């Protein structure tokens, strides 16, 4: 089981977190076109490589954070809490 | 028939003859030379890619085709799936489509002259809650309207069909009923892959294994490097060199995004591992395929005696196929809920494959905004059973340049148009 | 026990303790410490089973866990490894794959037609006539190998445990023990895991010195505080050294799964001896040198009387010594290092009788021992991402380089004297401990709660071990004849040649076509021989062919152990004991166990409609929301407007996902200036809490809202019916229930039945005058009982979930997930006035707007069958009259006890939604009936006079 | 040896519990202090910083302490006496028992006395405070009260081997 470094709690078993998928920007709902909105809803880069994604520390600190994960090797780097700059927390914990 | 001679006849008599004369069988497929130009390049040597090639050749006379795979044939989902076939889907679109596939599977051993061991043993989807039972009823009703043999049966009837199931009422997940689909069953998945490969090869299709596509060549597109919408595909770059072709078909399932991104086409797909496992063999005792959506497990017993288990996809998207311990733990817990008597059976091997999951549990098929670049992807956890019909329809799509009715509902454009297919409702376990 | 050797041979058996068991019904005896196989051999039973396809008799081959020929049925347990499982008193042991008996097996006739049953023969036949395949299939299935399960097997006690050792050592041979010892001495917590029943590895069947050394090391490990797990297997290595260990030796449990997060893993799995491929290699009496030594030295069993030994290494030489010590005459030693070889063995059906050597001579014997080399069980290292590399000089595969937190030692990476192995093991243990210390330091430093770390992070130790030498070994895989490669799958080298000839050109395709390596030992004995034969057939090198993928588990684990104790959480409200004591039928809704009804749901409905009923609705999700920005949050998540809800007000709201699909619904009350209570559906409780946190933390981190789930803290009771005001009035002194003071859709706080801090709101899911009260759970039983006591004369009765479902249907309230589905966008509900497109933003708004614009969506309508006594099934399809075109479906249906007729909610296409439209409904029976679309969703009291009263 | 006690089994023994949410820089956060993941007994109240912005106040002193807090700025309290239920597990094998059901590392270096963490125990999310009793290893588990029947069963079952 993957160890995911929560910026608050430190390394956590992935099963203690919720995975919220690829991180993407929400368009302005007032002005966006259907294409833009549905791109946000459905289309995914889904790379085999580094991906910035959302995790929720559901049984620990209950913070949402972003982390870069390599989708082939499972490496993780630089978790960030929303509103914080990347690099403000510790890095690879394995 | 194509220009090449048809595949050597397999038969019991042949077996006897060659056995007596100690003769060996001819090759199943050639080791073809690598050519730099083809009419069609199909990426992915799984059941979808190979069936598309086979039907392009057999139904449309197009034989100057390369099928390229980065590994061996069937190394993707096609070689690692639990081989459950059925047609009792939830939506009319789904039902029509998978039913055609089942037809093709039924005649496949004959058509391909290779026994694919289709075992029409019946498929049970268990319901443990009222709402699951409601969904089963819904599916049964839609199915019946489409002429599909599928109905909801009672615990007593279930027990009769499959005595190893615990249908008592006092379990944590009591079995309240099941959707029973007699024509469903299992098939020898590798045989299907080999059958199409051998068939396609006989028509002259070149099968290039260990040939990885590194890039897709596109000109005139609106995106970076001239790729993307309104571009035109010109070929592929592979680990063995470039191939020029006006038509490129992406049949790479779990890797579909990677390949489509190479052409500048973004897909509504995320790649998740799906895991499976087998036990050591025991004398056969489980006559049907058993699926439980609430417990995220499905199981069948092969003719070799192993139980083959599957589950739902892992929650975390990844291209890593190592598999997890959690999967086996949950699987065992759930299987023993259903069949408490098999706690002493042992898990022999677990493995994983990649599934190209779409938001509506339905595939993405047909043309893309890049001219000449087709996709047959988004097959998620249910694409093996769709191999034959997909091949047939994609072949028609490519050969005729128009999207056949059967796959119209599955075009990529449905996502920008917001007309998703309604399979998600019943797809907790999509096998 | 005619074949038992005298002491001191037989280190592990206790001759003073006799054990009785049966073999195919026959009573036999063995000793404590015997394996089933050693006991059988001691009794002169040397055929232990028959092969899968050809049903050839089979005897001991390797005499350890991996022995493919000695799998037996023990009582209700199939596929027991007779060469590993210890004999226990009263065991009923029987042979597998035999019919009708071990000695006479009719399926052995398959052997005669073997020439036709080449690998994959079934692909080539049975295609025609298609109708016959099921019959053929039936026959094939009869040949399924293995034992049988007894479906009445009780689910015995299995267990699990987590562990966080610094170092896990897989394998307790000399190098593994040395590694564990050194790591423990360096301060690590260590788990030493040994697959066999005792530590020692290959030393256990070696010289006297070897055995003494093994005991010494084992004792030192125990003294150093190493946690020693014997008869346990490191079964898998997963991401970040998540290591599974199957422990078969824990008292009181059949098998237990240990999940260890090892900071470092040391692979010390040693080597596995390879069988040799030649004609007759599966005859009983042909065995590996390890097998012969184990049988003689460990179990004191005489495997034969006259032996030929084919040796290429010191293990064969040592076997010669062992055989001599057992008084077995050595007919011939065939030394591969001197260029000698064997080509075939032959004999009677049941035993080897002679061996033909490469020079053509034949030698009579009843035992053929082979020592042709080793296979490295790289499986665990492969799971860690390593890919093995072939070394032709040493004639085996070696790991290429596992990740930093996995280290290998001993036979897995080289060879050496006992002392050299121990030295390397020690160096590996020290390195593992050093690396573990760094990982431990980092973990501690990164984990807020952990103890403070001492000093700076230690340096990460580099690997400076002196590598073990790799002994030269001849490449010996197959003789000039064909023989069995995979014993459990009955695959011969000839099968592999013919498959290669047919074009199954890679090792993975060969595996799948022939099933070689797919049996119970998963290639540990077979893979390298398969690869070698394929290389030969394709004229490639072994390195070019490579191996197949190894996967977990290293050795099979029982489903029982993987499941462990089955812990499936369930939840109950504090009133559940009352419900059960009062005849409630329980129903499991998600994790909640709830009362479905108390006997007669229709009566419960009628009582509620005429008197008053109370229902426990505790599972309703409840979230306490505080902060100045709660209205903004509500405005964002609900489709309607929330900025102007007054204190004391309650409002209904609908939530959508971003794709516009209905996500949840519920009511939210404003309790104070900055204090709200939100309810969600029971099944949505956890989801909506996460949903809110997600919006707050990621999209609007500047908003000030605190969310606290209080679902269980407040026991929720709905009091419904004409007498509800009267009833509640009797219990509260400080809540003014006068309809003008406390109107519909309002909330009050106060004291109920003497319990302070209760919340009461007036809402009406059932359509009656009703109050939903939320009581601090510790006092809920008291309040519930007071309601029943005080309301006895008012006719108060408890009602269950089913009565509530009926009443909500009578009122036409839809249920998210039942009347809506995964594609139902908000306009499907028909609640268009609640869909406020003039707000700036709300979740799902764009999709809802476009859907409303297009108008192209189904809608929920109420309908009534024209024949009121027919209740169409939930899921019955609605068709365009006279056709099979689906235009909708019944989503909810019941017989209404209030209206005495059937009532429904349905989803239909727009075309069929107008009131008065006649619908054609296809019943499950196949009958078609008609139903009429109603004016309102509510079948009953559409104006809401009752609930507003 | 392990001893398992459901502290809230009866109204008399129910542990008063408050949750305090307070943003960085508020008066309440300053008053309560502590590092995230740690706990401290203050008079009759066990104060636990269970999340970066959330404290639990447990024990007879909790209501008064909560009521006495300055909630200016962005801070709030909720009485969770009835939402979360408290189970104490004490004894030399307490950690071994928890390790059968939960994946956290309960060793002294990762979870010393006074540490607080969240972990799933037998499938139920628990807030756990290591709170040794007179030198004997002890953990206070706080979980959603609706699970308690199931939970005690699982805990006793796990402890039965010790
Ligand atoms: C464990 C498991 C169980 C399943 N069970 C079922 C089931 O019971 N029933 C069912 O119907 N479906 C099931 N499925 C789903 C099914 O297996 C797949 O949907 C189906 O096999 C997809 O076939 P395909 O031909 O599209 O892709 P694949 O068979 O995956 O083939 C894709 C090929 O593309 C190749 N490729 C990828 N990238 C490149 C590149 N850059 N260059 C060249 N080649 C490339 C890969 O090597 C691969 O061979 C299951 C899947 C899994 C993983
Ligand atoms: N194996 C032999 O018969 C033999 C004989 C003579 C010399 N040798 C040489 O000795 C060396 C091997 O010594 P060693 O100390 O490395 O190994 P070893 O073979 O002495 O011991 C390895 C031990 O690891 C155990 N094991 C393997 N996988 C395991 C797993 N996944 N979980 C738990 N236990 C597991 C085995 O049961 C075995 O007892 C090699 O160089 C070999 O050539 C071996
Ligand atoms: C239906 C089915 C049955 C299988 N049965 C076995 C089996 O009996 N023994 C075995 O070792 N593997 C079995 N496998 C698994 C394969 O060995 C292999 O793990 C799988 O095809 C994935 O390939 P990989 O492990 O090489 O990545 C089976 C696979 C499938 C799909
Ligand atoms: Zn955290």
- Cβ of A32 under 8 Å from any chain B Cβ? no
Residue A20, pLDDT above cutoff 50: yes
CATH number at D129 reads: 3.30.1360.120
Return d(Cα C352, Cα C281) in angstroms, integer.
Answer: 9
The DSSP element (H or E) to which A70 belongs, if any, is: strand A64-70
* Most ligand 1 atoms within 8 A of CB, residue of B34, B74, B77 to mutate: B77
Q: Is there a contact between C259 and B325 if contact means CB atoms under 8 Å apart? A: yes
Using the 3D structure, point to which of D50, D79, D108 is the last residue of a domain: D79
Q: Is there a contact between A16 and D119 if contact means CB atoms under 8 Å apart? A: yes
Q: Does any domain span residue B229?
A: yes
Beta bridge pairs of residue D70 = none
Query: Which two tokens mark C398?
Result: 């070696």
Q: Which residues line ligand 2 (CB under 6 A)?
A: C 170-176, 193-196, 201-202, 233-234, 268-271, 273, 290, 315, 374, 377, 380, 410-411, 415, 421, 554
Same domain as D33, residue D54: yes
Measured by CA distance, the residue closest to atom 21 of ligand 3 is B80
- pLDDT of B425: 53
Measured by CA distance, the residue closest to atom 31 of ligand 2 is C234
| pLDDT averaged per 10 residues in sequence order, chain B, 431 residues | 54 70 81 96 98 97 98 96 89 86 90 89 94 92 92 96 92 94 94 96 97 98 95 98 98 98 97 97 95 92 93 94 96 95 96 96 96 97 95 97 93 91 54 42
How far is ligand 3, taken at its centre, from the CA of residue C794, in Å? 68
Residue A92, pLDDT above cutoff 50: no
Same domain as D49, residue D99: no
How far is ligand 3, taken at its centre, from the CA of residue B82, in Å? 9
Using the 3D structure, point to which of D79, D94, D125 is the last residue of a domain: D79
In chain A, the largest separation of any two C-alpha atoms, in whole Å, equals 44
Same domain as D152, residue D116: yes
Residue B2 vs residues A34, B51, C218: alpha-carbon distances, Å: 47, 15, 71
Same domain as B215, residue B144: no
How far is ligand 1, taken at its centre, from the CA of residue B119, in Å? 21
Query: Which two tokens mark D72?
Result: 């200016």
- What confidence category does residue A88 fall into, taking pLDDT thresholds of 50, 70 and 90? very low
- pLDDT of B277: 98
Q: Does any domain span residue B199?
A: yes
Same domain as B250, residue B224: yes
How far is ligand 3, taken at its centre, from the CA of residue B383, in Å? 18
Task: Mark which residues 62-121 of D lie under 8 Å from C by CB.
Answer: 74, 76, 78-84, 96, 99-103, 105, 107-112, 115-117
Structural domain range at position B244: 10-16+30-119+184-269+359-431
Residue C158, pLDDT above cutoff 70: yes
Residue C576, classed as helix, strand or coil, is: helix
Select from C519, C522, C517, C521 the least CA-distant residue to C532. Answer: C517
* A and C make contact (3+ CB pairs below 8 Å): yes
How many other C-beta atoms can be found within 10 angstroms of the C-beta atom of residue B296?
A: 17
How many other C-beta atoms can be found within 10 angstroms of the C-beta atom of residue C415?
A: 20
How far is ligand 3, taken at its centre, from the CA of residue B306, in Å? 11
Same domain as B275, residue B350: yes
Same domain as B197, residue B106: yes
Interface predicted TM-score (ipTM) of this complex, two decimals: 0.95
Same domain as B217, residue B110: yes
**Model confidence pLDDT, tens digit, residues C393-424:** 999 999 998 999 999 999 999 999 999 999 99
- pLDDT of D155: 97
Provide the 8-state DSSP code for C277.
Answer: B
Same domain as B345, residue B278: yes
Chain C: closest CA distance from residue D8 (Å): 9
The DSSP element (H or E) to which C332 belongs, if any, is: strand C329-335
Using the 3D structure, point to which of D57, D79, D101 is the last residue of a domain: D79
Chain C: closest CA distance from residue B33 (Å): 15
Same domain as D71, residue D120: no
Residue C702, pLDDT above cutoff 80: yes
Q: Is there a contact between A30 and C840 if contact means CB atoms under 8 Å apart? A: yes
Cβ-Cβ contacts under 8 Å, A62 against chain D: 51
CATH number at D42 reads: 3.30.70
pLDDT (average), residues C69-96: 96
Cβ-Cβ contacts under 8 Å, A94 against chain C: 240, 405, 439
Name the packing angle between helices B387-400 and B47-60 (round to 10°): 50
**Model confidence pLDDT, tens digit, residues C189-233:** 999 999 999 999 999 999 899 999 999 999 999 999 999 999 999
- pLDDT of B25: 79
Q: Does any domain span residue B339?
A: yes
Residue D109, classed as helix, strand or coil, is: coil
- What confidence category does residue A91 fall into, taking pLDDT thresholds of 50, 70 and 90? very low
Q: How far apart are the first and last CA of chain D?
A: 6
- pLDDT of C110: 60
- Tell me whether residue A78 is exposed, middle or buried, using C-beta atoms within 10 angstroms of its C-beta: 0 to 12, 13 to 18, 19 or more: middle
Nearest residue on chain A to D116, alpha-carbon basis? A60
Return d(Cα B51, Cα B101) in angstroms, integer.
Answer: 11
Upper half-sphere CA count for residue B276 (Cβ side, 13 Å): 23
C-alpha C75: how far from chain center? 26
Per the CB < 8 A criterion, the answer to whether C58 and C285 are in contact is: no
Select from C919, C898, C627, C925 the least CA-distant residue to C766. Answer: C898
Beta bridge pairs of residue C309 = C333, C369
Chain B: closest CA distance from residue A3 (Å): 13
Nearest residue on chain B to A19, alpha-carbon basis? B316
Residue C8: cis peptide before it, omega within 30 degrees of 0? yes
Same domain as B249, residue B193: yes
Cβ-Cβ contacts under 8 Å, A45 against chain B: 257, 261, 266
Q: Is there a contact between C694 and A93 if contact means CB atoms under 8 Å apart? A: no
- What confidence category does residue C531 fall into, taking pLDDT thresholds of 50, 70 and 90? very high
Domains in chain C, CATH or no CATH each: 158-271+378-446 (3.50.50.60), 477-563 (1.10.10), 571-620+713-817 (3.30.1360.120), 630-710 (3.30.70.1400), 858-948 (2.40.30.110)
CATH number at B238 reads: 3.50.50.60
* Most ligand 1 atoms within 8 A of CB, residue of B327, B384, B385 to mutate: B384
Q: Is there a contact between C127 and B113 if contact means CB atoms under 8 Å apart? A: yes
Same domain as B205, residue B324: no
- pLDDT of B426: 45
* C and B make contact (3+ CB pairs below 8 Å): yes
Measured by CA distance, the residue closest to atom 9 of ligand 1 is B84
Nearest residue on chain D to C704, alpha-carbon basis? D74
How far is ligand 1, taken at its centre, from the CA of residue C18, in Å? 56
Upper half-sphere CA count for residue C60 (Cβ side, 13 Å): 33
Q: Is there a contact between C447 and A11 if contact means CB atoms under 8 Å apart? A: yes
Torsion angles phi and psi, residue C517, rounded to 5: 75, 0
**Model confidence pLDDT, tens digit, residues C896-936:** 999 999 999 999 999 999 999 999 999 999 999 999 999 99
- pLDDT of D11: 82
Same domain as D101, residue D67: no
Q: Does any domain span residue B3?
A: no
Torsion angles phi and psi, residue C223, rounded to 5: -65, -30
- pLDDT of B424: 63
User: Could you please report the per-residue DSSP string of C688-717?
Assistant: HHHHHHHIIIII-TTS--EEEE-TTTEEEE
- pLDDT of B408: 93
Same domain as D72, residue D32: yes
Average pLDDT for chain C: 94
- Tell me whether residue C437 is exposed, middle or buried, using C-beta atoms within 10 angstroms of its C-beta: 0 to 12, 13 to 18, 19 or more: buried
Number of domains in chain D: 2
Q: Is there a contact between C626 and D38 if contact means CB atoms under 8 Å apart? A: no
What contacts D162, CB < 8 A, 6 or more positions away?
D1, D2, D91, D93, D96, D97
B258, B316, B415: residue with CB nearest A48: B258
How many other C-beta atoms can be found within 10 angstroms of the C-beta atom of residue C350?
A: 17
- Tell me whether residue B346 is exposed, middle or buried, using C-beta atoms within 10 angstroms of its C-beta: 0 to 12, 13 to 18, 19 or more: buried
- pLDDT of A42: 95
How far is ligand 2, taken at its centre, from the CA of residue B306, in Å? 30
- CA angle C920–C925–C931, rounded 5-degree value: 25
Neighbours of ion ligand 4 (CB under 5 A): A 6, 8-9, 57, 60-61
Provide the 8-state DSSP code for B384.
Answer: S
Query: Which two tokens mark B64?
Result: 């100057």
- What confidence category does residue C122 fall into, taking pLDDT thresholds of 50, 70 and 90? confident
- What confidence category does residue C97 fall into, taking pLDDT thresholds of 50, 70 and 90? confident
**Model confidence pLDDT, tens digit, residues A29-68:** 999 999 999 999 999 999 999 999 999 999 999 999 999 9
The DSSP element (H or E) to which C521 belongs, if any, is: none
Same domain as B236, residue B155: no
The DSSP element (H or E) to which B123 belongs, if any, is: strand B123-127
C240, C698, C850: residue with CB nearest A3: C240
Measured by CA distance, the residue closest to atom 29 of ligand 3 is B80
Same domain as B134, residue B92: no
Dihedral angle, C-alpha B155, B158, B162, B168, nearest 10 °: 0
Same domain as B276, residue B325: yes
Q: Is there a contact between A15 and D119 if contact means CB atoms under 8 Å apart? A: no
HEC states along C165-234?
Answer: CCEEEECCCHHHHHHHHHHHHCCCCEEEECCCCCCCHHHHHCCHHHHHHHHHHHHHHHHCCCEEECCEEE
Nearest residue on chain B to A45, alpha-carbon basis? B266
Residue C879, pLDDT above cutoff 70: yes
Same domain as B98, residue B46: yes
Domains in chain A, CATH or no CATH each: 3-70 (3.30.2270.10)
How far is ligand 2, taken at its centre, from the CA of residue C34, in Å? 21
Q: Give the helix, strand, coil percentages of chain D, each rounded to 5.
A: 20, 40, 40
Torsion angles phi and psi, residue D101, rounded to 5: -115, -15
Number of domains in chain B: 2
Residue C626, classed as helix, strand or coil, is: strand
Structural domain range at position D130: 3-10+83-159
Q: Which residues line ligand 3 (CB under 6 A)?
A: B 79-83, 189, 278, 302, 304, 306, 308, 348-349, 351; C 508, 518, 522, 549, 551
Query: Which two tokens mark C892?
Result: 């909810």
Q: Is there a contact between A8 and D117 if contact means CB atoms under 8 Å apart? A: no
- What confidence category does residue C114 fall into, taking pLDDT thresholds of 50, 70 and 90? low
């Amino acid at each position: 089981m993957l160890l995911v470094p929560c910026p608050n709690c430190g390394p956590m078993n992935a099963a203690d977190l919720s995975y919220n998928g690829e991180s993407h920007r929400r368009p302005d709902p007032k002005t966006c076109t259907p294409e833009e909105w549905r791109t946000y809803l459905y289309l995914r880069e889904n790379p085999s490589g580094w991906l910035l994604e959302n995790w929720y520390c559901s049984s620990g600190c209950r913070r949402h954070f972003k982390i870069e994960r390599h989708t082939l090797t499972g490496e993780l780097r630089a978790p960030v809490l929303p509103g914080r700059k990347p690099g403000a927390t510790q890095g690879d914990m394995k | 028939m194509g220009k090449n001679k048809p595949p050597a006849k397999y038969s019991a008599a042949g077996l006897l003859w060659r056995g007596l004369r100690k003769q060996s069988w001819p090759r199943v497929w050639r080791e073809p030379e690598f050519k730099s130009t083809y009419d069609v390049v199909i990426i992915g040597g799984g059941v979808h890619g190979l069936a598309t090639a086979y039907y392009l050749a057999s139904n449309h006379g197009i034989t100057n085709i390369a099928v390229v795979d980065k590994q061996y044939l069937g190394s993707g989902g096609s070689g690692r799936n639990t081989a459950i076939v059925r047609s009792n889907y939830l939506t009319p679109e789904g039902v029509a489509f998978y039913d055609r596939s089942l037809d093709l599977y039924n005649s496949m051993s004959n058509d391909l002259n290779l026994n694919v061991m289709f075992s029409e043993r019946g498929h049970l989807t268990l319901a443990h809650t009222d709402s699951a039972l409601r969904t089963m009823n819904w599916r049964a009703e839609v199915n019946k309207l489409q002429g599909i043999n599928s109905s909801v049966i009672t615990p007593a009837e279930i027990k009769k069909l499959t005595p190893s199931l615990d249908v008592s009422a006092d379990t944590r997940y009591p079995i309240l009923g099941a959707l029973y689909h007699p024509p469903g069953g299992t098939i020898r998945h590798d045989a299907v892959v080999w059958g199409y490969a051998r068939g396609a090869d006989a028509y002259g299709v070149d099968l290039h294994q260990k040939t990885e596509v590194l890039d897709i060549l596109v000109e005139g597109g609106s995106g970076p490097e001239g790729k993307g919408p309104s571009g035109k595909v010109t070929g592929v770059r592979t680990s063995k060199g470039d191939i020029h072709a006006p038509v490129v078909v992406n049949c790479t399932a779990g890797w579909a995004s990677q390949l489509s991104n190479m052409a500048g086409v973004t897909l509504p797909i995320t790649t998740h591992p799906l895991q499976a496992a087998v036990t050591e063999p025991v004398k056969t005792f489980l006559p049907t395929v058993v699926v439980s959506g609430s417990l995220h497990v499905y199981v069948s017993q092969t003719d070799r005696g192993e139980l083959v288990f599957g589950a739902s996809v892992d929650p975390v998207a990844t291209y890593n196929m190592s598999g997890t311990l959690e999967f086996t733990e949950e699987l065992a817990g759930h299987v023993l809920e259903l069949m408490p008597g098999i706690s002493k059976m042992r898990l022999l091997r677990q493995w994983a494959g990649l599934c190209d999951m779409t938001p509506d549990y339905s595939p993405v098929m047909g043309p893309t905004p890049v001219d000449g670049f087709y996709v047959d992807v988004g097959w998620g956890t249910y694409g093996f059973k769709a191999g034959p019909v997909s091949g047939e329809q994609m072949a028609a799509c490519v050969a005729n340049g128009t999207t056949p009715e059967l796959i119209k509902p599955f075009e990529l454009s449905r996502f920008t148009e917001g007309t998703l297919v309604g399979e998600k409702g019943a797809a907790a376990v999509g096998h | 026990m005619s074949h038992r050797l005298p002491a001191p041979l037989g280190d592990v058996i206790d001759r003073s303790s006799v054990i009785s068991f049966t073999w195919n019904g026959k009573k036999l005896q063995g000793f404590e410490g015997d394996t089933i196989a050693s006991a059988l051999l001691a009794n002169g039973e040397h055929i232990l089973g028959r092969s899968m396809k050809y049903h050839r008799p089979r005897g001991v081959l390797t005499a350890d866990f991996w022995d493919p020929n000695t799998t037996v049925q023990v009582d209700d347990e199939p596929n027991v490894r007779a060469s590993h499982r210890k004999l226990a008193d009263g065991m009923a042991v029987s042979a597998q794959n035999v019919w009708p008996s071990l000695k006479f097996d009719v399926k052995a006739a398959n052997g005669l037609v073997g020439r036709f049953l080449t690998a994959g023969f079934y692909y080539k036949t049975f295609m025609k006539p298609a109708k016959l395949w099921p019959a053929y299939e039936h026959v094939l299935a009869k040949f399924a190998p293995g034992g049988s399960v007894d479906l009445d097997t009780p689910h015995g006690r299995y267990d699990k445990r987590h562990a966080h050792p610094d170092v896990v050592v897989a394998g307790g041979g000399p190098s593994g023990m040395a590694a564990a010892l050194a790591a423990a001495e360096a301060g690590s917590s260590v788990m030493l895991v040994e697959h066999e029943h005792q530590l020692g590895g290959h030393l256990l069947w070696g010289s006297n010195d070897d055995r003494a050394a093994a005991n010494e090391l084992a004792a030192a490990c125990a003294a150093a505080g190493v946690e020693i797990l014997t008869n346990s297997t490191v079964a898998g290595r997963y991401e970040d050294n998540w290591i599974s260990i199957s422990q078969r030796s824990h008292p009181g449990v059949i098998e237990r799964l240990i999940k260890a997060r090892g900071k470092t893993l040391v692979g010390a799995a040693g080597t596995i001896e390879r069988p040799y491929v030649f004609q007759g290699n599966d005859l009983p009496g042909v065995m590996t040198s390890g097998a012969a030594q184990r049988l003689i030295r460990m179990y004191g069993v005489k495997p034969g009387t006259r032996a030929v030994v084919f040796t290429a290494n010191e293990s064969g030489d040592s076997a010669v010594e062992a055989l001599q010590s057992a008084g077995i005459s050595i007919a011939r030693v065939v030394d591969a290092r001197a260029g000698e070889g064997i080509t075939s063995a032959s004999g009677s059906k049941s035993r080897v009788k002679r061996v033909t050597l490469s020079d053509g001579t034949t030698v009579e014997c009843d035992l053929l021992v082979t020592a042709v080399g080793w296979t490295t069980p790289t499986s665990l290292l492969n799971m860690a991402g390593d890919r093995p590399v072939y070394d032709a000089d040493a004639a085996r595969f070696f790991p290429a380089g596992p990740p930093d937190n996995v280290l290998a030692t001993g036979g897995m990476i080289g060879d050496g004297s006992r002392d050299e192995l121990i030295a390397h093991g020690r160096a590996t243990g020290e390195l593992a401990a050093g690396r573990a210390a760094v990982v431990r330091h980092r973990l501690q430093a990164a984990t807020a709660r952990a103890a403070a770390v001492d000093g700076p992070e230690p340096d990460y130790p580099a690997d400076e071990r002196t590598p073990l030498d790799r002994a030269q070994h001849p490449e010996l895989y197959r003789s000039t004849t064909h023989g069995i490669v995979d014993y459990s799958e009955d695959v011969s080298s000839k099968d592999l040649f013919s498959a290669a000839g047919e074009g199954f050109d890679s090792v993975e395709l060969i595996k799948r076509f022939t099933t070689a390596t797919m049996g119970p030992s998963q290639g540990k004995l077979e893979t390298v021989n398969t690869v070698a034969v394929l290389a030969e057939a394709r004229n490639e090198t072994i390195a070019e062919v490579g191996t197949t993928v190894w996967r977990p588990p290293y050795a099979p684990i029982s489903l029982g152990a993987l499941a462990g104790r089955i812990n499936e959480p369930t939840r109950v409200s504090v009133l559940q004991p009352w419900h059960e004591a009062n005849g409630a039928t329980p129903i499991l809704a998600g994790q909640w166990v709830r009362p479905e009804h108390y006997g007669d749901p229709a009566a419960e409905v009628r009582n509620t409609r005429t008197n008053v009923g109370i229902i426990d609705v505790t599972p309703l999700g409840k979230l306490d929301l505080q902060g100045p920005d709660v209205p903004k949050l509500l405005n964002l998540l609900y489709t309607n407007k929330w900025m102007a809800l007054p204190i004391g007000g309650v409002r209904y709201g609908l939530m959508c996902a971003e794709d516009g699909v209905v996500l949840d619904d519920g009511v939210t009350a404003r309790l104070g200036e900055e204090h709200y209570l939100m309810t969600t559906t029971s099944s949505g409780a956890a989801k909506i809490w996460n949903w809110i946190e997600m919006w707050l933390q990621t999209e609007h981190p500047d908003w000030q809202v605190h969310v606290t789930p209080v679902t269980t803290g407040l026991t929720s009771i709905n009091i419904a019916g004409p007498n509800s005001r009267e009833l509640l009035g009797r219990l509260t002194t400080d809540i003014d229930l006068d309809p003008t003071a406390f109107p519909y859709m309002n909330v009050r706080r106060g004291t109920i039945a003497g319990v302070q801090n209760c919340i009461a709101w007036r809402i009406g899911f059932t359509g009656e005058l009703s109050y939903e009260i939320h009581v601090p759970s510790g006092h809920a039983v008291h309040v519930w009982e007071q309601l029943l006591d005080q309301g006895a004369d008012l006719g108060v009765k408890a009602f269950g979930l089913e009565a509530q479902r009926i009443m909500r249907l009578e009122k036409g309230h839809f249920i998210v997930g039942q009347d809506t589905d995964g594609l139902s966008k908000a306009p499907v509900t028909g609640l268009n006035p609640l869909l406020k497109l003039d707000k700036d933003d709300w979740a799902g708004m764009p999709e809802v707007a476009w859907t409303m614009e297009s108008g192209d969506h189904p809608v929920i309508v109420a309908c009534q069958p024209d024949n009121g006594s027919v209740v169409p099934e939930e899921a019955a399809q609605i068709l365009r009259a006279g056709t099979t075109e689906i235009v909708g479906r019944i989503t909810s249906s019941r017989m209404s006890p209030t209206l005495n007729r059937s009532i429904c909610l349905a989803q239909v296409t727009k075309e069929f939604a107008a009131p008065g439209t006649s619908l054609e409904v296809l019943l499950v029976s196949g009958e078609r009936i008609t139903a009429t679309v109603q004016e309102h969703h509510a079948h009953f009291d559409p104006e809401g006079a009752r609930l507003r009263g | 040896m392990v001893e398992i006690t459901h502290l809230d089994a009866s109204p008399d023994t129910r542990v008063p519990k408050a949750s305090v949410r307070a943003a960085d820089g508020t008066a309440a956060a300053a008053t309560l202090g502590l590092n995230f993941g740690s706990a401290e007994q203050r008079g009759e109240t066990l104060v636990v910083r269970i999340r970066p912005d959330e404290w639990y106040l447990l024990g007879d002193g909790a209501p008064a302490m909560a009521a006495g807090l300055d909630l200016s700025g962005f801070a709030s309290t909720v009485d969770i006496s009835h939402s979360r239920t408290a189970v104490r597990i004490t004894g030399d094998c307490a950690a071994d028992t928890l390790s059968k059901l939960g994946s956290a590392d309960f060793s002294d270096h990762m979870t010393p006395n006074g540490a607080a963490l969240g972990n799933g125990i037998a499938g139920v999310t628990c807030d756990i405070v290591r709170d040794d009793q007179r030198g004997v290893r002890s953990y206070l588990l706080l979980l959603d009260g609706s699970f308690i029947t199931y939970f005690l069963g699982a805990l006793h079952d796990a402890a039965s081997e010790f």
